[in-house]
Structure 1
């Protein structure tokens, strides 16, 4: 579910929404930092989340911060998280539902920041609220839709989620409201966004032929014990990478 073994071309074709969002992350980040006098400063100034300006009617600031990042570690951390955990949901939900879930949870995270943080809250930006929204959907699956996720993948999700919540309160520059309410929003829309989604539909999407690659192994359930160890290794490596990026973010 979270193993990425596609080529670049195969990944972009299989997960166009995730690819597009990651591309937007880096294009806007590079534009803001490398070309400030060619529109970069305008993007930053008009896109960043500032509660006082939102209260004055600049409601687009509830959306634009989802795609903006301030440092290289910030954009790498969020893009890497989306790269790992976005594709499975895009395959499962389809393009339209995935886009709706990503934007809705990101917006609700910013709305919570506005309502709870108030007019004096610091300017904020980043995709973390939307990414935690995806984790909220996974959390709902772990708790109530076990037919959509096996135990090994559920362990990966819960481990990464716990690490993410810990880092939320450790790093003083993180928007705590966005993380927590993005997660809550994802879990809350879980019953709606997963309505009529079945394991069969997910497997059917996965098994579409692509460049003659075998994407679905009908005997994979017989390899469960072996795959479980592999998933644990992937989870451990992912935790180390995410923790390292989060640690560096405190100093860059």
Structure 2
């Protein structure tokens, strides 16, 4: 069965599995600081993380779900769009995921920084590497500590996974083949993908902006899906002329 998977999809799955084994089972997450994607203004950020984060996964279930989804939707798109456009779809969706997720991070950082400045905290000095210094009333210090903790969470929490790229693949599939039916966990009746995907995207937007992320980069999923939808709409008119 694996030999029947078209080459791009197959190689993406192989690379993801190899990196997962090396990063999580052999080196036990020591690669995370180098290959996962940190907030672009974080001291931990490296330029190559924009690409390498797409091949990092935090758990076995994480990579299993992502690779199964790619296996389910990728081959059809690779065969009908052609390898070049399929690669463009995959990686641009991953970049779109990174951009939208960190755009929201930027908005949150600006809001936190403004609140800290109002409380008299030297946010510019802190972001430049100066040691933390709290001042003011006890209530003010408690507020500052909480805000700094939130800021550190954004700066120090990496983004990993191929989910953004794969959401782009799924969105492109839904755009090109809206009446295709798919099975969903816990729902016994197959449903048309054009009805399923919007619900998932709306749920991801709500979870992403409400703070109920549960450690999942929901807005990255939205960014990937948006790029996948746009590319599919561009290519849809010429689908039957693609190789």
TM-score, scaled relative to structure 2: 0.65
C-alpha deviation, 1:52, in angstroms: 4.3
Question: Does 1:172 find its partner at 2:163?
Answer: no
Which of the residues 80, 97, 115 maps onto 2:85? 97
Which of the residues 57, 66, 75 maps onto 2:54? 66
CA distance in 2, matches of 1:69, 1:133: 17
C-alpha deviation, 1:110, in angstroms: 0.1
Partner of 2:97: 109
Conserved in 1, the CA contact under 8 Å of 2:39 and 2:45?
A: no
SS at match of 2:238: coil
User: Any stretches of 5+ residues in structure 2 without a counterpart?
Assistant: 110-150, 183-190
Which is further off, 64-73 or 109-118?
A: 109-118
Question: Does 1:81 find its partner at 2:69?
Answer: yes
* Closer, same or farther: CA 111–29 of 1 in aligned 2, 3 Å: same
C-alpha deviation, 1:159, in angstroms: 5.2
C-alpha deviation, 1:166, in angstroms: 7.2
C-alpha deviation, 1:152, in angstroms: 3.9
Question: Does 1:31 find its partner at 2:19?
Answer: no
C-alpha deviation, 1:9, in angstroms: 2.2
Which of the residues 173, 182, 190 maps onto 1:138? 173
Conserved in 2, the CA contact under 8 Å of 1:108 and 1:182?
A: yes
TM-score, scaled relative to structure 1: 0.63
CA distance in 1, matches of 2:84, 2:62: 27
- For residues 40-71 of structure 1, give each alpha carbon's deviation from its aligned partner in whole angstroms, at most 9, with x where no partner exists: 62x32211010145688722211111111010
Which of the pair is proportionally richer in helix? 1
CA distance in 1, matches of 2:195, 2:166: 15
SS at match of 2:214: coil
CA distance in 2, matches of 1:175, 1:87: 25
SS at match of 2:48: helix
What is the Cα-based RMSD across aligned positions, in Å? 2.8
Partner of 1:189: 231
Partner of 1:10: 4
Partner of 2:132: none
Conserved in 2, the CA contact under 8 Å of 1:101 and 1:193?
A: no
Question: Does 1:49 find its partner at 2:40?
Answer: no
Question: Does 1:157 find its partner at 2:193?
Answer: yes
CA distance in 1, matches of 2:42, 2:86: 26
CA distance in 1, matches of 2:83, 2:161: 22
